[in-house]
Amino acid sequence: MAAAKPKTKPVPERKTTAKPAARGALAKERVDAILKGLDEAYPNAVCALKHRSPWELLVATILSAQCTDVRVNMVTPELFRRFPTPAAMAKAGLPELEELIRTTGFFRNKAKSIQGAAKKIIAEFGGEVPETLAELITIPGAARKTTNVVLGVCFGKAEGVVVDTHVFRISRRLELAKSETAEKVEQELMQVLPRDRWISFSHQIIQHGRQVCDARKPKCDRCNLEPLCRSKDKTWRS
């Protein structure tokens, strides 16, 4: 007697637009398919840090280190109400700054950084956040991630790719990068992504990481990039 066919689990309904491309991890067709999928899933992705000026975004990004954007957005309204400009921040007392940003973690170092940034901007840049990578990178607290955020969001300049925890994790899952540090992952992404996508890619991937591609339990059954993903920690496969 023929063996009974094993029962198959019903496949969840989901919109799948990305199609498997060449097996090569960095094949142009595969990169294009990933970018197309991101455009379809997150056409309006923007920076989650609330800000009204380059100065506010610079401070918010410094505060976001080892902290969620949600928490930063809870802290910055009162911070900027009391110290709305670099000039005001430069004159603030460190204990008051520390208390205002305490819940963002590492508050002592962050207080020194944002006040140091204010003083640098006043002393060397006429009170305005500079618009070049070479200048921004000299500001206290402004490492590569911070400078890329400010340049991309406020000035529309693609000088690099923002690599936060979501971008680092998902870029490796999708095999767009394989390095072990954010700095090296950024360099890899700059090699495989079109320059005109450097800014939007990060916003889309960050949103994807928050909504679908979770660090511990990714929602692969809801992911329109799933056919393109060969990550070993997938929770569902088509």
Instruction: Give the residue numbers annotated as catalytic, written as ranges.
Output: 145, 164
Torsion 171-177-180-183 (CA) sign = negative
Q: Cα(205)–Cα(185) distance, rounded to whole angstroms?
A: 14
Is 118:89 a contact under the CB 8 Å cutoff? yes
Among 166, 167, 165, 212, smallest CA distance to 188 is for 167
The burial of 185, by beta-carbon neighbours within 10 Å (0-12 exposed, 13-18 middle, 19 or more buried), is given as buried
Among 151, 164, 166, smallest CA distance to 199 is for 151
Q: Cα(67)–Cα(75) distance, rounded to whole angstroms?
A: 11
CB-facing half-sphere around the CA of 210: CA atoms within 13 A: 15
